[in-house]
Structure 1
């Protein structure tokens, strides 16, 4: 694409594609060391070219909601990247092929996708890191053995609106699988919210502390 002919735009595109989660202007400004107005101009070109998608992050406190950028679904399998909706399509295909539930398929994917080094770290932080890699913006609150992880954005917003049971089941399964791989953490439930606003909540507890 012509939009990727500019070296700065190409670097922006690769950073967003590799981030595997929505990325804001401030993060891109820090990464490239350019003025935020220049970053916005490059992002506008990438959005116009259909390479990136622009959306509004869930509000946090007062002030205007910030804009975030992610890989456009039409870009997946091109330019050497795999986007979130292609990964979702593979999981949905596995549900159809195997006849297993979304939770079961998600659990296998969560186990397979866990970093081998994650077992050596705090399981709560390990789960936060795993969910972040899957495109969420997780924030953990811990009170004794109880842990709440708020998923502040949904990487499959439009699909979750159309079929929340399937998408939320996959997400719960991913958390189960990651917890299995990490050890020491039990997922109690996923409390869903409107995916347009974010804020789904994983309720967990640290194993052996109850």
Structure 2
């Protein structure tokens, strides 16, 4: 008999918990994280309280929340004289979730630039990456509303809109089968995405509609269809 063993994944954690923690901070906690992030070396409660003009107890309470959320780490300082050694605190997280989005966008641009210079068929390779990406979205599709058989195209368009909005694209239904995307998580502020990134999006859309409808419904993605949006049009396959 063959025995199967399960191993626990090791290594750094994913950023999901960090992003959730950042989103849940109060204004005071966020201000404290900003202050600590300005210092290249660990700082004490007294240091932070003096810099921000706050009572040490208020700083200590907010720091406890940041430490529990793993946005700030603390270490004991060497003992000096009598009494308990002080804690020193340092930021171990970005102060804004946007920093994580920027990193993801930069990685996608780098992958696209690599394909453009090394692959004999960069558009095909980018589309294939999008197809694989779309397959990873199937768990989100399965959790969403199911398309009724009597309203096939409109219902699938609605599911795509909901999914794209959940992924951060600010998707709106201009018409039952026309979706406009007013935000792109793969775009850095003030920069236009590398064209092959749009091809990855096409692959993702193709795979999601293929899986959802069994090939009965197809979609067309038009990058920069308007001044501030891209557009998806969904229709029955011919």
Verify the 8 A CA contact 2:221 2:230 in the aligned structure 1.
no
Of residues 112, 130, 134 in structure 2, which corresponds to 1:110?
Answer: 134
CA change 1:12–1:188 in 2 (3 A) is closer
Which structure 1 residue ranges, 4+ long, deviate > 6 Å from structure 2?
none
* Structure with the larger RCO, 1 or 2 (CA within 8 Å, 6+ apart): 1
Q: Does 1:51 align with 2:131?
A: no
How many residue pairs match? The answer is 149
Q: Does 1:124 align with 2:162?
A: no
The 2-side partners of 1:198 and 1:45 are apart by 35
CA RMSD of aligned residues (A): 4.0
Of residues 121, 133, 140 in structure 1, which corresponds to 2:173?
Answer: 140
TM-score, normalised via structure 2 length: 0.47
CA change 1:164–1:86 in 2 (3 A) is closer
Superposed, 1:33-112 pairs within 5 Å as 39-40=26-27, 42-43=29-30, 49=37, 51-53=94-96, 70-73=97-100, 85-86=103-104, 89=107, 93=111, 96=115, 100-112=124-136
Superposed, 1:143-162 pairs within 5 Å as 143=176, 147-158=177-188, 161-162=191-192
CA change 1:13–1:191 in 2 (3 A) is closer
TM-score, normalised via structure 1 length: 0.52
Of residues 165, 181, 197 in structure 2, which corresponds to 1:167?
Answer: 197
The 1-side partners of 2:187 and 2:137 are apart by 21
Verify the 8 A CA contact 1:189 1:204 in the aligned structure 2.
no
Rg larger in 1 or in 2?
2
The 1-side partners of 2:162 and 2:187 are apart by 20
Partner residue, 2:55: none
* 172-181 vs 99-108, greater mean Cα deviation: 99-108
The 1-side partners of 2:134 and 2:109 are apart by 11
Partner residue, 2:89: none
Cα deviation for residue 47 of structure 1 reads: 6.1
